[in-house]
Chains A and B, each alone.
Chain A
């Protein structure tokens, strides 16, 4: 069954780091362009970054430059998103997503979301 399964909820203190995983079922990760999108409580969608598989280039949103790293382990078909120097306003649901990338990336498949709470 084609799906993306993410790791469980996390609670972190300000200044800490969080690493969220996303395992792909039904596809080989090395055929997919993977992205991360987050949504703060009651707010809209915010793209964090994504890997363009065909040219191997990873793009990061300017808002997260220097704080986020996306990595992958193709042997386990798992992709990871690490966000560092967490702030209270990083409290959000984090989604992994994948799909086509012809001109604009489009996301056919989404993970279930991982709630990251930043609290002292």
Chain B
């Protein structure tokens, strides 16, 4: 069972906006910044968002992150078929003194 809670699945149609939630605690998301990763089957994850809402160069601005209290969200606007992948949130946990990942959300583009 993951320290961070994500919905196991999400879906949307092309062009739609989809959000994926990530719920933590005061010692995790409540005290630290959140990162988001995208992963396609059989490949290494790719960094999408760091420091809650910062995009690395090359990541489209359709991807955005936010954080409020002990929860965070990843929003994907203008959904495209190539966005179909697994998405993971992660943050540092001060109680565990380690990095924790959410269980992952499988995004399906209908």
Contacts and interface: CB of A to CB of B under 8 A. Distances in A.
Name the residue among A45, A62, A111 with the largest chain B CB count within 10 angstroms: A45
A45 B104 CA distance: 8
A107 B34 CA distance: 12
Contacts of B46: 110
Given A45-B39, A45-B101, 18 more contacts: A44-B88, A45-B45, A47-B101, A60-B98, A95-B44, A95-B45, A99-B50, A100-B50, A102-B51, A103-B33, A104-B34, A104-B90, A104-B91, A105-B92, A106-B47, A107-B35, A108-B56, A110-B46
Interface of A: 35, 37, 44-47, 49-50, 59-62, 95, 97, 99-100, 102-108, 110-113
24 contacts: A35-B99, A44-B86, A45-B45, A46-B101, A47-B90, A47-B99, A47-B101, A61-B96, A61-B98, A61-B99, A62-B98, A95-B45, A103-B32, A103-B92, A104-B34, A104-B90, A104-B91, A104-B99, A105-B99, A106-B47, A107-B35, A107-B37, A110-B46, A112-B44
